[in-house]
Chain A
Amino acid sequence: MTDLSHLKADFPVLENGVHFLDSGASSQKPIPVLEAMDRFARTSYANVHRGAYKLSVASTEAYEAARRRVAEFIGADNPSEVIFVRGTTTALNTVAFGWGLENLQEGDRILSTEIEHHANLVPWQMVAKRTGATLDHIPMTDDFRLDMEAYESMIGPDVKIVTVTGMSNVLGTMPPVRQIADIAHRHGARVVVDAAQLVPHVRVNVSDLGADFLAFSSHKMLGPTGIGVLWGRMDALEETEPFEGGGEMISDVTLQSATWAEIPHRFEAGTPPIIEAVGFHAAIDYLESIGMEKIFEHDMELTEIALQRVGDVPGVSIQGPNNTIDRGGVVSMTMEGVHAHDLATILDEGGVAVRAGHHCAKPLMNRMGVAATARASFYVYNTEQDIDALVTGLRRARELFGMS
């Protein structure tokens, strides 16, 4: 068993003993991240890319250092391919509107999947409506995987973009992104990966992944809220128009027109999240000090234990792959006769924090034939004891509902 229990002391919020099993929604922040932001704000903060004074130069350097750190972390050779945005949702909207409105027209097809988060679904619906392109979805198999045969029959020259999650926030399923990308590229389509759940838990190297665009958030990987990344292959970013106009993103402006700044700046209108970038940098350093391989190993050990012990509770069904193959540390469950919200309330009384509901994936919930699930998701600070507390709470729920 990979023992990371010593890390718990780095997370002040966990001191009260909460069994925090909702990192899939947002992760907790370790002291080094909090301290880095505090130190920076106290000593080096000013707006970036503007002032000729020393403080602004220092601030700009810290912001650009964060960009280089992210590039290194995801194996991007060129830091200019890393665009700081508000989070995964903004990153995906930037691709949908910035790339989509420029490159899609009537008769074109957008291919997504049945297992997407609303953030990788609704923007494409909006863009399809505006461009006249159609939006199709790769179906899910009954064992919670993407139906790759169906995908191969759906792809064709009219498909211009394929957008897929790297790890489902409901199921934990990790679709074979490389294979999906290779097939898409053979048909000349661009590939977008919603990596909000993937990048925090699995070592991602963009040159191996095969995607053209990758979106993820800092707040799910021990960093602050308010910052995330759109990574794009340079030639894909060159096909993309800025989604927001304003300061910072221009090269020249007259009353009637403007020309864009270089990539990445043309996609970063307005004052960026500077202190957050510093915190994000510290979060990546923290993750790397543990090692992404070790983090995933630890996630999967907990997942294996959870699948077994949660699955043993009478009346509980795991809503997701029942094994640890090509999946991450997200375990959704339903209990016969007890609604997920009731489960969450009962678990909370035992100090166990889980997410209950549709997880911003209503079409997937419909496909699964459930209205809501309770979801436990794991990260570096979780231990076997958290799962035991979860199981105790599940049994208590049965008792309260008269099913023991």
Chain B
Amino acid sequence: MLTVLYALLYYVAAIIFVVGVAKRVWEYWKTPQPAVIPTTPAPVTRTGVVWRMFKEVAFFESLWKSNKWIWIFAMMFHLSLWLIIIRHLRYFLDPVPTLIVLAQPFGKYAGFFFVLGALGLLARRMFVPRIRYISNPSDYLMLLLFLGIGLSGLGMTFVSKTDIVGVKAFFLGLMTFNWQPLPTDLPVLVHLGLVALFLIIFPFSKLVHAPGVFFSPTRNMVDNPREKFRPVPWLPPVDEVQYDPPHGS
């Protein structure tokens, strides 16, 4: 029964996640950005922009300039999230590629840093008056969701060991439409339930910052408005316009 429920949940969550994110990306892709508005100084070549964007998404360059505290917690949170995701690929791939095997020990302990990062971010939201002012209930809930995912995951790994082989069989089964029973101990159910929730809310929430940042015109545009002519799509071409008459005529 629980197996069916979770199987369906994961199919729905996966569809919402993929379609939802694709729709968002498509919207950003097709919405025009008529004026060239990079925050300057900005790169004057495409390669330069790629480098700028790399520094932004890999090292949070702007955040570093802004605030070292947030930077530390954000870095801790996102870096460990990456390691965790890479480590988790082992539950979807058979055989497990060597690279992911190598990442295993890092990914395992990254869970602690992930929780620590989320706690830091939560503390900032609760105790810094300016950030408390801008926080909505959803901002707290999102962090609690991550904490729940992280703690339940750590619980499965370090407290009460789960039948992880069974979990892997369940996911491989989902992908091949050959359903296998899901081990039903509580940490697994909580962990997987929260992750499904995460996938579902992703496209409708601020979590779209992850794909969104690549479309940010102040970061992804080449600084070349003088060199390259880009007409505004909804304005008539310049040879069809009427000029204002001179003063006094």
Chains A and B are bound partners: no
- Chain A interface residues toward B at CB < 8 A: none
- Chain B interface residues toward A at CB < 8 A: none
